[in-house]
Amino acid sequence: MIQLLVINDDTLTTGTGMHCGADFEVSVADSPLAAFNSIIHINPDAIVLRTGNGFDHVQVLRRIRNMQASKNTPLLVLSKDEPVVTLGNKTADKNTEYKLEPCEWETICRWVTEKLDVSDEAGQKEILVVDDDPVILDLTRLYLGAKYKVTTMNRSYDVLDRLENYKPDLILLDIAMPEIDGKELFKMIKEIPGCEEIPILFQTGMAGINTVRECVKLGAAGFVIKPLQKPVLLERVEEVLGTESKKKVYVFEEKDFIFQLINGFLKDNYEVLRGDSVLSSNNRLEEVNPDVLMIDIDSSAFILNHVRSTVNQLSIPLVLLTKDLESDIVKKERLSPNTAIVQMPLNKEPVREAVMIMAQKKAAGIR
């Protein structure tokens, strides 16, 4: 079911229906406040915004993009003013498009299905969701169903039987399953012929460091924290399935062999970039806007002070590398929830673990 929010259209009413071969649930908002509330409560898959009727569509659009739930949501702006459409398409971000009115409803629906890549159901990626909580299963199906073919199961032994003949593209697995613990079920799934390479994301309400460490050791593709947030869930799924660009880790490290070691640890799951100029570092950070910034503070502590304001402004989490866990700067940085400390010499699991946690915080907008 595609959740479509239409803003400033008095010809439509809220309801469901089949359009362009896909199921739509349409919500209509007649004011900016109603639109913002709808975004928070229904997490639409796509948004259509009509100009006119006293709407300042630029301000509304800006507010929509500043909201965590809709910062990357496909958005179509419809206007009767040709210069507005021309200028809009020149300046809009990659997820925003302008079209000239009048625009047929079928054209709008076709635009939505193309943007969500659901026009060909046979080509959809398949996701198996395993959880004993029916609310979580319904939410996951609702959040992912517009873009993916979702199958849900609530019993561990049934999952093992099903996977003998069914091979999804991704498995979302609850850690706290009643019959077989999720971590044990993970191991059993990986022993089924043909399932060895299927990526598995854990869904968990236990976000402690030990849980994350166990996920990393098992070889999980990552984890999603409950209660589920649609933008975060979609981003993690898209990242694992390769339908979204890799998260970026920006590393300040003077020693080539240490940078190459970090790159080797992370390159399969992240795009690893190297900061090579102190003078250009702030401009580069603003341009790249990485998901995680990594700094070797034993040799490049001055970088931390230099980029601090930019890091705070862009809400970029930090991973700091050091040999001395008792230094004054480390003691100070430990107080920040947006900073992780990794002791050198480096090992793969602590580095991946720290980056995974900090990237998750960036995606969830946690400070």
CA angle 147, 40, 236 (to 5 degrees): 40
Residue 243: predicted pLDDT: 59
How far is CA 95 from its chain centroid? 15
DSSP H or E segment with residue 113: helix 105-116
What is the CB neighbour count within 10 angstroms for residue 363? 20
Please give the Cα distance from 152 to 132 (Å, whole number): 10
Domains of the chain, first to last: 2-116 (3.40.50.2300), 124-241 (3.40.50.2300), 247-364 (3.40.50.2300)
Tokens of 16: 């469901």
Strands, sheet with 149-153, edge to edge from the N-terminal-most edge strand: 149-153, 126-130, 170-174, 200-204, 222-225
Residue 123: predicted pLDDT: 60
What is the CB neighbour count within 10 angstroms for residue 149? 17
Whether the pTM exceeds 0.85: the reply is no
Q: Omega into 102 within 30° of 0, i.e. cis?
A: yes
Residue 367: predicted pLDDT: 46
Output the tens digit of pLDDT for each of the chain's 367 residues: 788 999 998 888 878 777 766 778 899 998 999 999 888 888 888 999 999 888 888 999 999 988 877 888 899 999 999 999 999 989 888 889 999 998 888 899 888 888 887 645 556 789 999 999 999 998 898 888 878 889 999 999 999 999 998 999 999 999 888 889 888 999 999 999 999 989 999 988 765 667 766 777 788 888 888 888 887 888 888 888 875 567 889 998 888 889 999 999 998 888 899 886 655 677 677 777 888 999 998 877 788 888 888 888 888 999 999 999 999 888 988 888 889 999 999 998 899 989 988 887 776 654 4
DSSP string of 38-63, one letter each residue: HHHHH--SEEEEE-BTTB-HHHHHHH
Strands 15-19 and 22-29, by their bridges, are antiparallel
Residue 192: predicted pLDDT: 94
DSSP string of 170-188, one letter each residue: EEEEES--SSS-HHHHHHH
